[in-house]
Every structure is written in C-alpha cells, then in structure tokens.
Amino acid sequence: MHPDESVLWRFVDEELSTSVREDVARHLSDCAGCAGRLEELRGSSVSITRALATLDHDAPHVPVDAVRSISRARGRRRRSLAAAAVLLVVASSAAAALPGSPLRRIVQRWLGEPARAPASSTIKPDQAGSTKAERPRTASGIAFAAGESVTVDFAASPVTGELRIRFADGADVIATGSSARTRYALTGRGVTVTPGDSGSFDLEIPRRTDPVRVRIAGHVVFAKVNGRVTTEGTRDSSGTLHLRFSSHQRDLP
Amino acid sequence: MNPPDTFEADFRRVFDERFPALFRYLDRLCADPDLAADLAQEAFVRLYERKTMPLEVRTWLVAVSSNLLRDERRRRSRRRRLLLGRAASDLMGDSEPSPDAGPLRAEVRQMVRAALDTLPERDAQLLLLREEGLSYREIALALGLNEVSVGTLLLRARAAFQTAMEARPYAS
C-alpha cells in the first residue's frame, strides 16, 4: 500500500516513529513512483525555505543587558505605582473620614444614605444596599463612621446579657450583637439598637470620639465627656468595659 | 551556583540562541522588522520577568510573541478604523528590502510576501514555525492545536503557499 502525501511529508519532516519510518523506507526502495513523489516534496520543502528567506531582514543587535534593564525599570515603575496607589487609598480614606469632608458626602450619596442621616455617619459599603433607616440584618451588627459625638441607644434592655465597650484607633463605630434578630437604625446622633432577645453586645468606639453616650431603655449607662468616662461597668485587663443588662436599668449617678 | 544565577545564565544562553530566530519568525509573519524586533524583545523581557525558565521555552516565546502581535494588530486595526480608513495590512507595513538586495530580489520578495499574505494567519504560522525547525508537537503547543492535526494542516498550508507562488510571475 502506497503511503499518502501526509505520510511522505512526515517522512521528510522526520516526524514518523522509527518503526513506521522503516516501513516507509522499505516501500520507497521498491516503489519508484513514491520515491519520485518524495523527491518532489523535498524539492518543494527547499523551494519554500528559499522563498521565505527572501523576506528576511538582518536581525537587530539587541544586547541582553537591554532586556534586563527594561525589566528592572518596569519593576521599579510598578513598585512606584503600587506605592502611589497605597498612598492614594490612605489619603482618600483619611479625607473621607474627616467630618464635613466633601469626599465623605460623595461617599454618602454613593451609598444611598437618606438625606436625614447625619453628615458624620456613613455606612460602610458592606452595610449598603438598603436606604431604609431600619435595617433588618441576618448578621447582627452595624458599622458607621463616627462623628465628633456618638450616642448609642438600646431601645430596650435585654433580660439577660452583657454589653462590652472598648475604644479603638479606627474611625468607625462598630456595634455587633450575638442575636441575629437585633435591629440597628442610624439616627442623627448615632445608632439605635433594638435587641431581638437576650444576648451580648460589643461596641467599638473610636478613641477620638467625644462625647459618647450609651443608653439602655432611656437610662445613661456609659458616658465619656471631655475625656472623662463615667460608667457602672467594670474594666478588664484589656481595657474593655463590661456592663450587665438589667431589667431595672437606672441612670448613672 | 544558586537558582538566580542559574536563571541568569540560562536566560543569556536562550537569548543568544533564540532571539534571531524569534525575530525572523515575527518579521516574516508581520512584514515589519521594527515591530518584529519590538515584539521579540518584549517576549524576552517577559521571559526575564518570569524568573524561571518554562519547560518549553521555544514554544513559550512563540506563544507569547504571537499574542503580542495579535494585540498589536488589534490596536492598529482600531486606530485605522478611527483615523485613517486604511487597510490594517497597510499599517503593519511592508518594509523596504535590505539595501544590498537587487531589484530582482525585491520583486521576488514582493511576490513571496503576496503569496504568504494569501494564507490564513494560522497556516502562515504553521509554515513559518516549521521553517524555524519546530517539531509538530512544538507547533501544536505554540499554536494551541491538536498535535495529530498538525501534519494535515501543514500539508495544506504548504500546498496553498505553493499554489499562490505558482499563480505569480517569477514563480520559476
């Protein structure tokens, strides 16, 4: 059986397995027709090589060090751009955190905050999505940029539970609760927390925020005014204040 | 010798061995020696930035530079549509022959160029990569083809190129 042209080209290109190549070579030695065709293909191969060579230009002299230099320069530029991007993010965050900042208002509008929301309270992007003041949440918690002052109101006192308050270096007030049924509503002064049931709450307040008031069922249980903290809670070794909820909540003295 | 030193040495060796061939392949493919030089250099810059040698460095270089050429053609085509209303091939250029080339060689060169330009891009790549000595397996890797089909595709590309050459004067 005569090999087809594809096999003959593979023979020319040395792309046949050893055993097939030997079979084809044996056939070529006995078949003048196939041997002649093979020579034609070899001639074609040489013609193509010669024809394509007419297209060639001299290769430019590119020193290998030039390639290395380009790569290193790009590396430096990428690092500079990355540093600039970090600076931009930091500067933007700082600008957005400043009360009264135009950038802050832009962020508020972008997040769709209701117009009556205080200019000093901005919900984080992960809190956005609803413009309703009352935000039913599957995960209990809310974060918003603190203004100069913050008031946290617990609309009612859980029968049992604990409130933990700590100061942090961030710019946001973060309130989280153990109950998924708790609701959080931004107010002009801060946030109102409506506990769904018993449970514990954590309140993180920016250190620079002053004054701060925390009320449970209308009674002030924590106050920080002019840097002076008044509370019935107890402070642990990490500085976190612990307040037990009581059904008979009363104001601080 | 630590790994970075090994890479530096390997890179220099690969650059010395492969740059001229990569330039030739790209020059034949795009008919623009300046662009071919830029693309070949860029492919080696990217290889250097990898800091490790690919297992199949020759096919890696071809694949990367082919992608770069495709992007460049797309960019120039877009620019053509927006500004000039000229054919993309006009913008890719058809450079003058080397100074030492005589008028006859220039005519042959134009004819070969015209014949090659009649081929679909993939057929031209197949033809040119085979001319650079890539095996069927390497061609398949570089162009993302099935190795089994390379032989048949290459046969057709060669036939089409020869037919295009024979259709022109000076074919003999």
Per-residue model confidence as pLDDT tens digits over B3-28: 677 999 999 999 999 999 999 999 99
CB atoms within 10 A of CB A58: 13
CB-based contact, A55 to chain B, within 8 Å: yes
C-alpha torsion A142→A144→A150→A156, nearest 10: -20
> Which residues on A lie below 8 Å from B158 (Cβ)?
9, 44-45, 48
Residue to mutate among A9, A44, A67, with most B CBs inside 10 A, is A67
Cβ–Cβ under 8 Å, residues B57 and B18: yes
What pLDDT sits at residue B52? 92
Cis bond upstream, residue A211 (ω within 30): yes
Nearest to A5 by CA among B39, B139, B155: B155
Quick one: fold of B96-172? Arc Repressor Mutant, subunit A (1.10.10)
Residue A185 Cα, gap to closest chain B Cα (Å)? 52
CA–CA dist A125, A110 (Å, integer) = 9
Residue to mutate among B8, B153, B161, with most A CBs inside 10 A, is B161
Cβ–Cβ under 8 Å, residues A72 and B133: no
Beta-bridge partners for A153: A192, A215
**Average pLDDT taken over every residue of chain B:** 85
* Residues whose CB is less than 8 angstroms from the CB of residue A67 and which lie 6 or more positions away in sequence, other chains included: B15, B41, B44, B45, B48
Answer yes or no: do A59 and B20 touch at CB < 8 A.
yes
CA–CA dist A241, B150 (Å, integer) = 75
Please state the pTM of the whole predicted model.
0.57
Lowest mean per-residue pLDDT among A131-145, A179-193, A214-228, B138-152: A131-145
Task: List alpha helices for chain A, DSSP H.
Answer: 5-12, 18-30, 32-53, 64-97, 102-111
Query: pLDDT digit string (tens) for B31-50?
Result: 999 999 999 999 999 999 99
Residue A206 Cα, gap to closest chain B Cα (Å)? 44
Sorted by where each begins, the domain ranges of chain B are: 1-94, 96-172
Answer yes or no: do A56 and B131 touch at CB < 8 A.
no
Beta-bridge partners for A141: A176
Highest mean pLDDT, choosing among A67-76, A102-111, B122-131 = B122-131
Nearest-CB residue to A51 (from B31, B45, B165): B165
Nearest-CB residue to A56 (from B27, B40, B135): B27
pLDDT band at residue A144 using 50, 70 and 90 as cut-offs: confident
A110-138 burial: b if 16+ Cβ within 10 Å, else e: ebebeeebbebbbbeeebeeeeeeeeebe
- Chain B contacts in chain A segment 32-51 (CB below 8 A): 44-45, 47-49, 51
Query: pLDDT digit string (tens) for A79-108?
Result: 778 888 888 888 777 776 666 666 666 666
Sorted by where each begins, the domain ranges of chain A are: 5-53, 103-244
pLDDT band at residue A138 using 50, 70 and 90 as cut-offs: very low
CA–CA dist A61, A70 (Å, integer) = 15
**Average pLDDT taken over every residue of chain A:** 78
